[in-house]
Each structure stands twice: as C-alpha cells, then as structure tokens.
Amino acid sequence: MLPPVHHHIFPRDIAASSRHLLAPAMLQLPSVQLPSRISHPHASTKPINIPDDRPYQEGGDRVAGRFKIPNNKKRKRKLEEFLLQLEQSQQEESLKKLAARGGVGLLDYERRIPHSIGDDVYNAIVKIKCTESTGNFATPWQTMPTTRSSASGFVIDGKMIMTNAHAVTNATMIQVKLRDRSKWHTAKVAHINHDADLCVLTVRDKEFWEGTTVLVMDGIPSLQDEVIVVGYPAGGEHICLTKGVVSRRETIDYCHSWMDLFGIQIDAPINEGNSGGPVLMGDKVVGVAFMGLDSLQNCSYMIPTPVISHFISSIKKKGKYMGMGWCGFMWERVESKHMCQKLGLKKKDSGVRIVKVYPTTHAGKVLKLDDVVVSIDGLKINSDGTLDYVIQRKKGRGKKSRDIVKLRMNHVANMRLPGERVKLTIVRKKQKIPITLKLADMRTIFQLVPMTMHDQMPSFFVFAGMVFTKLSLPYLSDTFGDEWPSEAPSGMVQTLMSDNVLKKRNQEVVILSSLLDSDLTIGYDYGTRRVTKINGKTVNNLKDVVKFIENDRDRAFLEVRLGGGSYIVLETKKAWKQNKAILRQYEVSKDRSADLKT
C-alpha cells in the first residue's frame, strides 16, 4: 500500500481523486486485462506469475469474482501479493490519466511523497502528553486550573527523548508513547534548557525502548533546501508529515525565554502539537520544530543543530545544563561615517560600539563605554553587528561551495559555556587592543526582575491583609493582562525594561501587590506599590520582609514604607491578633510560599 494521503503533502484535488485508490484491497474485482508479470516494492522481490485457473473443488478453495481464494496458505499468500500488485498498477494508471488531464503526474507524485524518510525514522517519533499546574502570580497562594497539552519528540542517543522545554514546563505528569503503540509510559525531565526551549526526557520502563530508532543530528541546511516536519499536530491522532523549504536563517527572538538566538525559518506548517518534533532532511535531524507566527502565513521556526548541540554537549561535559555564555555588555551599530571617524575606525574596519557594561561581569573590569568591538574569536564584526559564518559544502568531484549565514555577534558567546573565554579585538582611542574576555551567565545578570518564572511557583508572604511578593513579568501579565506595558505602574515597567540589572546578590524588587480588606486596612487604598523599608530597615528581598516583621513584634507600630513616599502604619499587637482570622476569611491556606519557610 502507498502511504496515506495527507493534505499537507498532496493538493486537495489529488487527495479527493485518489481516495478510492487508497482504500483496502477488495476481493470483488472487476474484469480487466492483466499483464503477465507485475512487481511491487512492498511485495516479494521476485516477480510473481498470475495464478492460473485451477479447477474449483467443493469444500476447498473459496471464489471471489473471477479469482479463487485458496485455503492453501502458500497459494493464498501468492494471491494476496498479486492483488496488492494489481492495486499498485491501478494507482499508477490513474495518476497517468490525471497527468494527461493537466493534473499532477506520476513523477511529481513520487517527488511529493517523502521516500527519503526511511521506515526506521517513524520508530523514533514520540507523542507526548502533559498535565500542567501553573502558579497564579496575581493571587500567589492559589494555582491556575490544571491544563493538559500535547507535543512531539524524538529518540536521541543515550535513551533520551528530545522535545521543547515549553512542552513540559510546570508539568506534574508527563506521558509518552510511540507510533502504532497503545500503551503510554511515564516520563521524567532529565535536563531542561529554558534559554533555547529544549528538553530531554527519560523513561524508566525498558519496554518503551524496544524497537526504537535513534535519530542523528546533521548540519545547517541551505536556503531552499527541502525539509520535512514530523510530529503529532492537532487535527488527528496519528503521525503527520509536512514538507517545506528553508526560507531564512538569522538570529531570532525565542518567545519562551526572550533571548535572541540562532533560528531557521521554514514554510512547512508547525501547528499546536508539532512542538518538539524533528525537522528532517532525509533521515537526519536538522532542527527541532518550536514556534510559528499566527500573524503570517507559512512562517514557522526550528531550532538549528548548533543550538541543540550546545545543550547536549553541556550535559555531556558537566552532567547538567550550565547555561549560555554572555559577553556582559550592550552594544549598538556603528553605521555612520561621522561616528566611525569620531571613534577612530579606519575605512576597512567595522564593528559595534559598547553602550553599557555590566559591573558584576568580567567585561566591567576590562571594557569601557565607547570601545568598538571589531572582531570576536577572529571573526570580523560587520557594522550591523552580524558575523559572516562560512559553511563549506561538498559539490562532488572534490569541489566545495561556500554558504554564508549572517548571525549577530552574540552567537559566538551563546555557543560557549559561562566561564569560558573568547578573544576580542577592540578599538579604543584609535588603537587596536586584544582582550581575552571571561563569559558571564546571562541568567545571573538579569534577575532583578525575572522575565520568566518557568517551573517556579510565585514567592509571597501575607500578613495582616498585606500581600507581599516580588516583581516579575509573569506577575505583571497575570495582574494587568496583555496590556501590562500601559496598564502597570510606569516605574515597574521602567525597571523591567531598562533598569533590569542585578547590582548585588539576592536582590529582588519587593512589592505590595494587594490589600485584603479588614478593620486593620481601613483608610488605605493602595494598588501595586514597591516596598522600600519596613520599620526603618531597607528591604532587599522577600526574606527581609518576613524577618523584619517577625523580629519586631515588640514595637508599638508596624511601619511599611512604599514607593512614592506613601506608607502604611498598623498597631503591631492588633495586626498579629487578627492575622489568622484574615487568612481564614480570604481562604488563604498558607501565609507564605515554601521558599520562605525556615
């Protein structure tokens, strides 16, 4: 039988015309003139002669139309193979007739079906379903309703399953199964990389791994290379293939982490459920499907092999994911001739100007504002901040071709581990200076206001009706919705977008997120405000809030200073006396998150 028709592979008119061809072989066959010998790739390699008209015997062979269905197993098997060959012949004849009428011809048909994918590939594709429980950052003592989602994955070396991080984020249970199997197996997260939206799962049940195939990573595809996305998207239960071409290769915004990393755009549809599935060229993996743009047609993205390899190599070297390297400075393009002259660049030089250096990184010690970075690890930096990556490809007869991919200069650092070193060449006061730079970990720099809180429940402390938590993007999103940039307090948005730099360890932006109405809070009507001091002591994090309130029970009044000069004053004894009653009234099951318990 030919592979099932799928609307992503076939035009709808061909699918409709061919539907009768793809039905199971029927025993009641029409009277047709048949060739004497027919071969079929799925039948025996030896061509079979058409069975002769042997005498029908009572109680022996059964008759179907003109053909006798023998009880003898050997003769029966030969006839079944012959019927399969006949069906193939009819399919080819129908397609040739379509071609004669201006439809898709046989060669085009063969090209459209992904024969380059071997049967073993299907034994590596995994369907994933996940139960998730996410924290409610607006009312942090509660959780959001439990949700369920599905995704795809594939088997890699080491008895692991590769998929997307967003497919299993906040998971309370993960189950996986293979194609053509009905049993689901429990899986666990072995390593997760939220930066690049990648994750590997493990399955303890040995039965799951029986008969599986390991997929191998390949290189970077060229523009217009044909790729096939394999997975379990919405719209059906079984495995699905979609074909497309490589449209673009550049640095893109990974929506799961808000990081700019190398990504490849393809025009093959990537729908809900496709996430984590392999993108293939032949039997080799060239990427992992992970996101699409709803606002554009045929615009999907895959994570390329260099980003995947960085994740896997980190696990092999260190036993866990260690993060991505970061240079520790912000830069802007140098495209103006006047700016180049001012900074001392020669005509043949190009690069980027440093506009901000983070003091807690090694860059804060060796780089200065207005330094121009002209190369990194020997790669020249273009005036737009990109690098020309040259990929050597074999063309045959020993010849090679050059394929150039333009990526932002950050890619060199991103593909290293934090703590490793890169070599920079900078121009400072018209002089070229070589510098060896120790890379920082971006995750430990932008933590003053977290942009993501994956796999984390919100931190909070509730006392006397005052709800304290820490500022994060998930909090702004849950509290103010999609319009948070305009609806949230401007000072908090400014901190998130511009001043989001950790200046010392364990520093957090603590906020009073809400006041639970009670006799204690009459007269106070404050929305979201930043907490600066409690009882005259500077608040650096939520643990300070708990410590200052619990250690100052003997004070006559509890004083909470807020941003903008406002403050709340409560009588300390009454606050402690009514605290539990307020918690019960608002069904707050616990007064603090697990990370604040001593």
Joined together, the tokens standing for residue 84 give 């399969």
Helix (H/G/I), strand (E/B), else coil: 438: strand
Active site residue 152: no
Is the distance from CB of 280 to CB of 226 less than 8 angstroms? no
Strand partners, 27: none
Per-residue buried b or exposed e for 347-359, using 16+ beta carbons within 10 Å of the residue's own CB = eebbbbbbeebbe
Which helix (H) or strand (E) segment holds residue 100: the answer is helix 73-100
Q: How far apart are CA 32 and CA 587, in angstroms?
A: 79
Q: How far apart are CA 425 and CA 412, in angstroms?
A: 14
Q: How far apart are CA 427 and CA 421, in angstroms?
A: 19
Which helix (H) or strand (E) segment holds residue 481: the answer is none
Q: How far apart are CA 265 and CA 245, in angstroms?
A: 9
The residue from 17, 61, 152, 197 that is catalytic is 197
Q: How far apart are CA 535 and CA 560, in angstroms?
A: 7
Q: How far apart are CA 413 and CA 409, in angstroms?
A: 8
Looking at this protein, which amino acid is placed at residue 132?
Answer: E
| DSSP line for 163-192 | E-STTTTTEEEEEEEETT----EEEEEEEE
Is the distance from CB of 341 to CB of 431 less than 8 angstroms? no
- Alpha-carbon torsion 534, 537, 541, 544, what sign? negative
| Residues 6+ away with beta carbon under 8 Å from 542 | 459, 460, 461, 468, 469, 470, 508, 510, 596
Q: How far apart are CA 168 and CA 150, in angstroms?
A: 9
Joined together, the tokens standing for residue 101 give 């009428």
The residue from 40, 166, 191, 411 that is catalytic is 166
Per-residue buried b or exposed e for 44-75, using 16+ beta carbons within 10 Å of the residue's own CB = eeeebebeeeeeeeeeebeeeeebbebeeeee
Active site residue 401: no
The residue from 17, 257, 275, 314 that is catalytic is 275
Q: How far apart are CA 377 and CA 337, in angstroms?
A: 26
Active site residue 257: no
Q: Report the catalytic residues.
A: 166, 197, 275
